[in-house]
Structure 1
Amino acid sequence: MSTMRAVQVVGYHQPLAMAEVPAPEPTGPFDVVVKIGGAGVCRTDLHVLEGQWAEKSGVTLPYTIGHENAGWVHAVGDAVTNVAEGDKVILHPLITCGLCRACRSGDDVHCELNQFPGIDTNGGYAEYLKTSARSVVKIDDSLEPADVAALADAGLTAYHAAAKAARRLTPRDRCVIIGAGGLGHIGIQVLKALSPAELIVVDRNPDAVKLALDIGADHGVVAEGTQVDQVLELTDGHGAEVLVDFVGEGGATAEGVRMLRQAGDYHVVGYGENIDVPTIDIISAEINFVGNLVGSYNDLCDLMALAARGAVTLHTQKYALDDFQTAISDLDAGRVRGRAILVP
């Protein structure tokens, strides 16, 4: 049996460890084994190490993390017809059954029998990963796995929220985006591609605001204390019809609610704090709070079409698989611009 290198969680509140483990092989008819070309490093990976997902995932340690993966098809089960060895692919983060009510309606994110490589089964901080035929999306020849890997989760989550927001936005509307980091900088590009609305981006970091303006935002606001007033001024005192919050902690939600117009939609994407709003304010302004998880398989196909035509590009910082600890430390310390990618 062949072996491979894999970066594993060996204990919570402990550093990750490199291990030599058996390489996966197709055992089921719809299995697809992918040679990893790039694995994104995500803030959720830090939360995994802190044990925040331990109870939710019920995973047995040690296991390999990494849920933003792209590469080349290495081997397939005997019933796989949609991809062949050597195909360049990006992986939908979930392995889904295809048979439950959610899967049948295209809402495969809520599959009743899903497995989530990198969260509750082995992920992509490794040389190979096993997934299913339902989870692989062929990517355009012009795209490289290491350049697009983070679109599998960060990009897909940003796309899902931005596409939902775009469905109600008209040319007269304003959309506020809080946070122009790893997810936000993708969300801005998606909104620019899908929506005619005016985009207002708010971020603490002046460099992030500058990047936002470069990639299509109409207005940039540096969050230094007067951001609510600045947004109200840009929206004629009314607030925005839609707000997409990629931060969701550190007081962002209290400020965000004050930036929202009556009957506005507040899309929650980033997480970490509680939303505290008097119920009378919710009903009198008739506002909606909308939760956003990762996107569906079809969302990922749509996002890859945008990527292939150059409408969405990812800012990445690449690290060798052996330098996994540097990548994790850089992300934790806020030293990564865009997304960190491990390349085996």
Structure 2
Amino acid sequence: MKAAVLHEYDETLSRDEFVRYQDVPTPDITRPDDVIVRIGGAGVCRTDLHIVEGIWRSKVDMALPYIMGHENAGWVEAVGRGVESVKVGDPVICHPLVTSGHCLACRRGDDMHATESRFPGINTNGGYAEYLATGERSLIRLPSTLAPKDVAPYTDAGLTAYRAAKKASRHLLPGQFAVVIGAGGLGHIGIQVLNALCAAEVIVVDRSETALALAKECGAHHTVQGGDDAVERVLELTHGNGAEAVIDFVGEGNAIAQGLAMTRNAGYYYIVGYGGKIDIPTIDMITSEKTIVGNLVGTYPELVELMALADRGLVHLATREYRLSEANQALRDLHHGKVKGRAVLIP
């Protein structure tokens, strides 16, 4: 099969070629619950750029050459002898983690902290290819309203945004405020989820005029141009108090300090983007009683819930399509901020 393969890291992201389009062996069924999926769409994520940079070397055991792609959807191509819930030809979306289902975390539905798992595109070959090896337990059949190429990025970008927004929605009441920092691939989904799950006013902060325009299309009630005065403008909109919830999809640069400053006392700051550091004096944590919450992708049931929202038209993805052979162009465009929403590779 054809695949876009990472052969070496590029810490400066300056090479013309990040991955090599080449022939590789097609994956086989090796376990009774294995499923081979013919890829209909593979999302291109900023995490993929971090993988190219080598940032993930200290977190997971990856041996090069290796195939990225952890946002995948397509059609069932082959199944192991124990598979019963899907059949060949079914359109499916893949939860990003393949788990055994036997550990206590799995039995509690806490997929992301399973003790027995593999993560295609992160620590094993992923979906920048014509075919993907995954497991039955990770698959959700798609309704006829949703095409694989249109929903693939929901498996990480959508699911991560959904998880954070769902957490926030549980304590947001009418008349209260939620701030979304970053209206890109994750943020534009988070805005829609907040509107679907709660009645808070949504304020979106971003430096890009294009991203702010997308935020408006997705239902933002207020938009704020990112910059040194962003905190002041958010405080004006929230009557000087700050927001009850701030979801930071950037997580680096001055976004963290600004996000915490936008969070009202006893409010919640949800950190989703990464690359920076949270540095706050303990006395400030005590006197403000702010809660800082980390977010790691999401569970299988949450992906089911997100697909239900998509099926009803309550959330939609802004996507830009590339051929699998154009993977380098997609990665470069993402790196240089030229992608509105999410990029999707199509074999």
Quick one: distance in 2 between partners of 1:207 and 1:261?
A: 28
Q: Deviations over 1:290-344 (max 9, x none)?
A: 0001010011000000011111110111111111111111111111111111000
Shift of 1:185: 0.2
The answer for the alignment partner of 1:6 in structure 2 is: 3
The reply on whether 1:38 has 2:41 as its aligned counterpart is: yes
57, 63, 66: which is aligned to 1:63? 66
* SS of alignment partner, residue 98 of structure 2: coil
Shift of 1:135: 0.4
The reply on whether 1:89 has 2:92 as its aligned counterpart is: yes
Residues paired across the two proteins, number? 341
Unaligned runs of 5+ in 2: none
* SS of alignment partner, residue 286 of structure 2: helix
Query: 1:160-309 maps to which residues of 2 (within 5 A)?
Result: 160-309=163-312
Quick one: distance in 2 between partners of 1:230 and 1:16?
A: 42
Give the letter aligned to residue 253 of structure 1. I
Shift of 1:214: 2.0
Unaligned runs of 5+ in 1: none
The answer for the alignment partner of 1:139 in structure 2 is: 142
The answer for the alignment partner of 1:150 in structure 2 is: 153
Give the letter aligned to residue 228 of structure 2. G
Give the letter aligned to residue 241 of structure 2. H
Shift of 1:148: 0.7
Shift of 1:208: 1.5
Query: 1:62-141 maps to which residues of 2 (within 5 A)?
Result: 62-141=65-144
Q: Deviations over 1:227-262 (max 9, x none)?
A: 111111111111111110001111001111111111
Shift of 1:225: 2.6
Quick one: distance in 2 between partners of 1:215 and 1:122?
A: 33
Give the letter aligned to residue 296 of structure 2. L
Runs of 4+ in 1 over 4 A off after TM superposition: none
Q: Deviations over 1:192-224 (max 9, x none)?
A: 101111111111112211221221111111113
Quick one: distance in 2 between partners of 1:336 and 1:210?
A: 14
Percent identity for Structure 1 against Structure 2: 56
The answer for the alignment partner of 1:327 in structure 2 is: 330
Give the letter aligned to residue 10 of structure 1. H
* SS of alignment partner, residue 53 of structure 1: helix
* SS of alignment partner, residue 251 of structure 2: coil
Quick one: distance in 2 between partners of 1:257 and 1:228?
A: 9
Of residues 121-130 and 7-16 in structure 1, the stretch that sits farther from structure 2 once superposed is: 7-16
Quick one: distance in 1 between partners of 2:217 and 2:22?
A: 42
Of residues 134-143 and 200-209 in structure 1, the stretch that sits farther from structure 2 once superposed is: 200-209
Normalised by the length of structure 1, the TM-score is 0.97
